[in-house]
Each structure stands twice: as C-alpha cells, then as structure tokens.
Amino acid sequence: MITFESVSKTYPGGTQALENLDLDIATGSFTVLVGPSGCGKTTSMRMINRMATPTSGRVLVNGQDVAEIRPVSLRLGIGYVLQNGGLFPHRTVIDNIATVQRLLGLDKKAARAKAYEALERVGLNASLAKRFPAQLSGGQQQRVGVARALAADPPILLMDEPFSAVDPIVREELQQEVRRLQAEIKKTIVLVTHDIDEALLLGDKIAVMAPGGTLQQYATPHEILTRPANGFVGSMVSKDRGFRALSFSTLDEFSSTALPPRGADGRISMAAVAPGWMLDLDPEARTALWINEAGTTFPAATMVRRGDSVRSALDAVLASPVSAALLLDANDVPGAYITLEDLAPHLRPSPVAGA
C-alpha cells in the first residue's frame, strides 16, 4: 500500500506543485496519474522514491514513512522507468538490465542470468543482449528500460510517461505489453501520463489532477467515463466518451452467427450479410480474405475474440467491407461472425453525471 497523507509541495518562489493530496494506492494495483502539465502528477510519483520531498504531509509505503528510509535502500526496492529509457550509453543491453542486481551485490554471472530472464519477459530476443542502446530502436530501448526496472523483482514500479517518446504504433505495442506483464506479475504500478486514453486503457484506478496540484477524482476508468466528478474531469473525457465506454464491455454475452459450410470451390458464401461476397479461409495459416463479385480480395485484417471489448468489435465491423467481423474460437480459428446488427442493441448510451 502506498499512502499520501495531506501531501503538499511548494517550490521556492511560491509555485504550488501539489496541494493537500490524500491518496491510497492498493498493493498489486495499476494506478495512473493523469492531467495537464503543471498538475503535480510527476512530483507526486517522485515522492514515492524520495526523488522529490513534500513541503508538508507524509508519503508511506506499507505503513512506513519514506522519509525514514535511506534513499538508496528505498530506491533499490522500487523499479523506475523513464520517458526515454534512461539507459547507460556505454553499457550493453544486458549490462544495463543487470545494473540493479549488481548494486544489490550479485556477481556478474548471476546478475546477467537474471537480466536475460527480464529481457525475455519484455519480449526482446536474446540476440540484442550484446548491443548498445544506440543500436536499438526507440521501442526496443523502452523495453530494455522496463526490463531493467523489473530485473530485481521490485514490489513497486514507477513509470514516468514511458511511452511518450515513441511513435503511435510502437506506443500501442508497449501499452499492450505492459498490460500483459501486469496480468502476469501483479506489481504495484504507478504510471504518469498526460494522455487520458492511455490512462483509461492501463489503469485499474485513475487519479485525475488539475493545475495547481489538486486531485479532482480518483476512481476506476469506467466511473471516470460515466460519472465524472466535475466539469474539469468531464472535459478530459468528453471527446468520444460513448465510444471509449465500450471498452469496458466484452463480447462474452453477444450473439453471433456460425460461418456457413464451404462450397464446392472451397469458399464460404457471405451472401447473408453481403450479396455476392465470399470468404476464403485458411485455418492452418489463420488468414482470411473477403472476395467481391469482381474477384477483388480484401484481407480480413482484424478478427475478434469473445473476451475482446465491444469497442474493438465495433471497430473491426466498421473496417470490414461486408460490415461483419470474424470471431475466433478457442483455437484462434475463425468459426463465426458478428455484425453491426448483433452489436446495435448494446450500443446504448451510458448514464452520465457530473459533466
């Protein structure tokens, strides 16, 4: 448990970075601090490992005031991921990752063994181990930064806008990787971002902060979307609010239609949803092509699963030339399809208050 008790921070000159923050972050949770520049979100996070100190109030980790813990001892037990990776340019990837284990007293061989485990955990190939940071892409550098933070198996992981320096495609991949990791390792993660979509995607709970360092709302993503506490929070989530809310419902209860049997030519007629259209399905390669009457093919690039969100299903349906998305079975083979008509009864507005 991480606890902020009436924490304020005023810098010399009178600038108020944080005002009377009370916040409880549960062990094993993923908490996102979100807000515009100057709202105190990074300052708050840096107080957890004493890289910033309160003017008043206390920050506690598992009931102990961090001000009473030696900074080095505290930081060795807290992983920290920086915006640009923060890697040592003169060290190889594997030695960057092994840094904390070496500081903890492990010999080089043991530290590198743990570093290789962390490298694999974040989805990087061992062939990158001997490279230097300058030889990596931005996304690879960021994964190395996450691996270094995880290598010593700290109970707490702090992430300071870790994906803002990479392009949108890599950013989405890294976000999904962090979601996968958290489901596996269940650390107490505190992430700072200015991107409300990123906060809604990643957080178990979101702390929305306003300029001047005041906490506006601390709640689940669904509650932030459907019951914003005030106009400030409402303004942050107002764009595409209804579409975003679909991320919190899954396809588990939705109806679908089994794919028809193959015809003599091996193709599947999709006349029920789009007259003249066929489906060419290769279950072994797990690929599918939509084919129109003229013989033009369109890859079925996006397929969905039962556990996917209604938002992802709607996106897949709208992107399909036949207004239907293929539904994968337990073996990741398309066995059914879902249409806009299947989704329509569930696309009703959520109750909204406070905006």
Do 158 and 303 belong to one domain? no
Whether residue 353 is contained in a domain is answered as: no
Q: Is the pLDDT of residue 24 over 70?
A: yes
Residues 6+ positions from 130 with CB-CB distance below 8 Å? 92, 93, 94
Do 244 and 255 belong to one domain? no
C-alpha triplet 158, 163, 169: angle, nearest 5°: 150
- 3-state DSSP: the chain helix, strand, coil percent, rounded to 5? 35, 25, 40
Do 258 and 228 belong to one domain? no
Q: What is the pLDDT of residue 246?
A: 67
Q: Work out whether strand 2-10 and strand 214-219 pair parallel, antiparallel, or are unpaired.
A: unpaired
Instruction: State mean pLDDT over 267-287.
Output: 85
Quote the mean pLDDT of the chain. Answer: 86
Do 209 and 231 belong to one domain? yes
CATH of the domain at 181: 3.40.50.300
Q: Is the pLDDT of residue 145 over 90?
A: no
Q: Is the pLDDT of residue 302 over 60?
A: yes
pLDDT, tens only, 205-244: 999 999 989 999 999 988 888 888 998 998 888 766 566 6
Q: Tokens for 190?
A: 């505190």
Q: Is the pLDDT of residue 45 over 90?
A: yes
* Domain residue limits at 264: 251-346
Question: What pTM was computed for the model?
Answer: 0.72
Do 40 and 11 belong to one domain? yes
Q: What is the pLDDT of residue 352?
A: 44
Q: Which of 231, 248, 265 is the last residue of a domain?
A: 248
Do 210 and 294 belong to one domain? no
Residues 6+ positions from 330 with CB-CB distance below 8 Å? none
pLDDT, tens only, 76-112: 889 888 877 678 889 999 998 888 888 878 888 888 8
Based on the structure, what is the number of domains in the chain?
A: 2
Q: Which of 197, 222, 248 is the last residue of a domain?
A: 248
pLDDT, tens only, 56-70: 999 999 999 999 999
Q: What is the pLDDT of residue 241?
A: 59
Q: What is the pLDDT of residue 181?
A: 83
Q: Which of 200, 219, 248 is the last residue of a domain?
A: 248
Give the rounded distance of the alpha carbon of 175 from its chain centre. 4
Do 147 and 15 belong to one domain? yes
Whether residue 354 is contained in a domain is answered as: no
Do residues 281 and 334 touch, judged by C-beta distance below 8 A? yes
